[in-house]
Amino acid sequence: MLDSKGFDLWADGYDKAVGVSDEENAYPFAGYKEVLETIFQIVMEKPGAVVLDIGFGTGTLTAKLYEQGCVIYGQDFSSKMIELASEKMPHAHLYQGDFTKGLAEPLKCRTYDYIIATYSLHHLTDELKKVFLSDLLGRLNQNGKILIGDVAFETREALDQCRQQAGDEWDDEEIYFVVDELKHFFPTLQFTKISYCAGILTLAG
């Protein structure tokens, strides 16, 4: 797992590295563009939505939402990522913080129409996912949604199949979503499969 310094070093080449993986339909980013486009279209259903992005990286998705008039809040643990994202979104409210320890204090002071996280929450253990998502659910406005686009599988069996297929490329330090296991804690959780290794998890407030 990369630490904040690692992400700082990777930030300039991040978008390109992800794009190559997606185009080759390769783990871990197969389906990446469709994941982002689908989340974008959902958020666009509410004009001027207030959006919190957890682990926004270089702002690939958030910048498009910003351009469409969304009010953007965000948290990332990489100062370099924040610098790059701020260039695209000069009036966004972006904060540095390690989300494994929860939200940055300024982000706790308001509620949101959408809370989005793309390819970031797999850094949380399964137990921390439950705690963090429970907290985020309480920060949604009426009819709000949490939208998580990530490496995710409907079952543990599907995850194991992908692990075998990926071979040495598999990252054992990342903890991917297994939907049927999370549903024990979030019964209303919905999952839209996008590729063999990615999808969108939706939790409504």
Assign 7 a pLDDT band (cuts: 50, 70, 90).
very low
DSSP assignments along 7-61, one per residue: HHHHGGGHHHHHHHHHHTT-TTTTTHHHHHHHHHHHHTTSTT-EEEEET-TT-TT
Residues 37-50 have pLDDT tens digits of: 999 999 999 999 99
Residue 104 pLDDT exceeds 60: yes
Please tell me the distance from the alpha carbon of residue 34 to that of residue 141, in angstroms, as a whole number. 26
| 63 Cβ contact partners less than 8 Å away, ≥ 6 residues apart | 85, 88, 89
Number of domains in the chain: 1
Residues 52-85 have pLDDT tens digits of: 999 999 898 999 999 999 999 999 999 999 999 9
Specify the pLDDT at position 15. 66
Please tell me the distance from the alpha carbon of residue 152 to that of residue 179, in angstroms, as a whole number. 7
Please tell me the distance from the alpha carbon of residue 142 to that of residue 111, in angstroms, as a whole number. 10
Q: Which residue has the higher pLDDT, 21 or 36?
A: 36
- 192, β-bridge pairs: 200
Specify the pLDDT at position 22. 72
Three-state DSSP at 156 gives helix
Torsion of CA 162, 166, 172, 176, to 10 degrees: -40
Cβ proximity of 68 and 151 under 8 Å: no
Cβ proximity of 42 and 118 under 8 Å: no
Q: What is the CATH number for 108?
A: 3.40.50.150
Structural domain range at position 59: 4-204
Specify the pLDDT at position 24. 83
Tell whether omega for the bond before 90 is within 30 degrees of 0, i.e. cis. no
Residue 3 pLDDT exceeds 80: no
